[in-house]
Structure 1
């Protein structure tokens, strides 16, 4: 009787390489994440500005980050490492003005901006006749556009790199148009040395299509034809906002793929920007090498040591606050106050 031999076939299983949680699966770079918090006591409007900035930085930020007045900068830094946080946005208030510090973790640099003016997102919404805020508007990070920073100055080049690294980079070959719903615009005025910080929502409207048809296709609802003699009147009748609002060539784009029911591929659509806030006017006053410390790379007011001797009240409130960040200590039991 013949003996049967069972030969086991060797099956090669290709190992599954999982992309790290904090790494972009397209570019392979580390996804920028941020903490937005305050140092010192803030008045009510600045507290709301802090919440607006957290919402702006979604989805890669801690929207419900808990703060304790005894938390120092080291506590935030210890939590930032395991969570993959790469940037800090720190609000503070002195006797003269509010300040915004943008820092790269864990070793800097740190840019300090004086907030000359600001408007909250609620103020922007109340000033508009038809405020727009779709529910999925903050599911994807905003695009970043910088204008006027190409003057050749080193401190402006560093500012450009810092703001570009706050938001995730996009790959034009793989990016989905549906994910591009917000834009952050920073415009530098070389005459006033001020930076206009604006936050807009992006929407597209097909060129040459009346508003009646557009709303009918988008909402997919039966229109009210009671006051019309014929269905053709619904298409041709002019009315408030019935025609396409912008046919300017400079404001139109040709879509590479379908975007919703109205905006079809290979068709022209008008790009509309609607401000959603917050709005700020920033003045760059200082750049430090480290995380809120270290050598001063740039100072708008000249040599810091000379400025201290001439007018100590102008510089000391902010620097004394920075020194307090490093000198404050907190018990280990308070680390639980930093939760996402």
Structure 2
């Protein structure tokens, strides 16, 4: 069953209370200043919502996949930029939890759990976006160490995070089977960052290039066995694409909630515009599609928790459908406010801009459709 339990709903109520009081009030300023939302981070950290997925034995909450989805959904309803804090912490650390050594887990997970540090995921490169196997970042063995050289692009929360899950080629003759994964620290010599990208949305979450110039790390920081990095990356994305779906349904819910309030207050021709059937049909479609996306996302989260064989399909389907729905709902919400929806005096234009990225990152929706088709035709 993927129906949320009473415990899940209590979790939702707690997250929403924090977000309404301490995250949503900073959302517009975070977008305007394009700065990491430190106040929101501290509020989430104080309530243990910054990385709820970390297992209890490493100091975390130990939230299951559905609870983590609910946390991200509720934060995204208030502020999409802030929702990337728990989402990217999970993306980067799930590799450590599932494939990393106990030494790696003990060294890094408690710092993520406490909120002392954050983590980022370094997979994409200038010439390797959807085609991950074409990456050029190299990790060359040197005794008991590895020396990493290369660059990663589109790295979420780069420069803010202390730890980076980095994928690099260790055997260039093996293509995808020659990729390995490592933990790199911001403090390692040779690690540097590019200027933040000037983005359409999620402006409060810095996105930068990460450069590795003869970065020397101990071999014990390899995640899993040599050559397993590509499989690790793909398996991780099967789980974390669901967190992107959670972001999408969160921002869509925020937009729908605001639009519903507006159409009941706004009057034209002597009565609230909510009484006009044309707008009622728009609201009905928005609500129907949002709930369909939520149910698919929760089903995928349950499959993630169980590790079901069809998780790859459901993760891709949830991410693709929810993000397409979010883009549609936020766009329609802007329409419902008319000219006001197009101004920064109201939050809907921000939500529409923020929603767009959910169709792009962690695999474009075109790639998701390839993944789904292959699974269906297998």
Scaled by the length of structure 2, what TM-score is found? 0.24
More helix per residue: 1 or 2? 2
Larger radius of gyration: 1
Higher relative contact order (CA 8 A, sep 6+): 1
More strand per residue: 1 or 2? 1
Scaled by the length of structure 1, what TM-score is found? 0.26
